[in-house]
């Protein structure tokens, strides 16, 4: 059986690669991620896949290799990046993450609403890759979920 991973999706620059590096305990350079990158525990999905609805089929194919999907929203931006019910198109579990929580923002409610309308269930994890807050709790939750 193929090894299953945590698939990480989110809009451009929301902090996907920063997060997968933490999950994989890897300290590498950050570059704009154009291709799908398989890490030790993760699949880092290019933002283009969620920005273009016709590319959803690629994500659904990638999800065959995933036991869960981390769905990120960027709290520093007010954007609607996912289509309605997005997460329901996938078989695997979806975990909601609100990133860049170190930056001042008025978008908290907008982020929560967005995760709800795309079909991601609470709890949502608020993280900062910059300050490291919320990361340990998220990683612990993910690996506990995997054991179940």
Ligand X SMILES: Nc1nc2c(ncn2[C@@H]2O[C@H](COP(=O)(O)OP(=O)(O)OP(=O)(O)O)[C@@H](O)[C@H]2O)c(=O)[nH]1
What number of chain residues touch ligand X (CB under 6 A)? 19
Stretch that binds ligand X, among 11-19, 85-93, 104-112, 137-145 (CB under 6 A): 11-19
77 scored as a contact of ligand X (CB under 6 A): no
Among 81, 88, 30, residue whose Cα is nearest residue 98: 81
Q: Are 77 and 11 in contact (CB under 8 A)?
A: yes
9 scored as a contact of ligand X (CB under 6 A): no
- Report the nearest approach of Mg ion to the CB of residue 1 (Å): 28
Q: Is 117 helix (H, G, I), strand (E, B) or coil?
A: helix
Sign of CA pseudo-dihedral 128, 131, 137, 141: positive
Stretch that binds ligand X, among 15-23, 61-69, 116-124, 139-147 (CB under 6 A): 15-23
134 scored as a contact of ligand X (CB under 6 A): no
Q: Which of 6, 7, 9, 14 binds ligand X (CB under 6 A)?
A: 14
17 scored as a contact of ligand X (CB under 6 A): yes
Q: Which helix (H) or strand (E) covers residue 49, if one does?
A: helix 48-51
Q: Which of 128, 135, 139, 142 binds ligand X (CB under 6 A)?
A: 128
**Cα–Cα distance for residue pair 91/111, rounded to 1 Å:** 23
């Amino acid at each position: 059986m193929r090894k299953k991973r945590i698939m990480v999706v989110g809009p451009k620059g929301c902090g996907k690669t920063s997060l997968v590096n933490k999950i994989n305990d890897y300290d590498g350079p950050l570059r704009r991620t154009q291709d799908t990158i398989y890490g030790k525990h993760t699949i880092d999905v290019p933002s283009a896949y969620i920005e273009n609805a016709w590319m959803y089929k690629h994500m659904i194919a990638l999800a065959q290799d995933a036991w869960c999907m981390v769905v990120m929203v960027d709290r520093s931006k007010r954007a609607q990046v996912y289509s309605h019910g997005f997460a329901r198109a996938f078989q695997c579990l979806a975990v909601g993450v609100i990133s860049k929580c170190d930056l001042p923002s008025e978008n908290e409610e907008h982020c929560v609403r967005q995760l709800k309308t795309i079909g991601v269930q609470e709890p949502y994890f608020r993280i900062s890759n910059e300050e490291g807050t919320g990361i340990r709790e998220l990683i612990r939750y993910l690996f506990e979920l995997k054991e179940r």
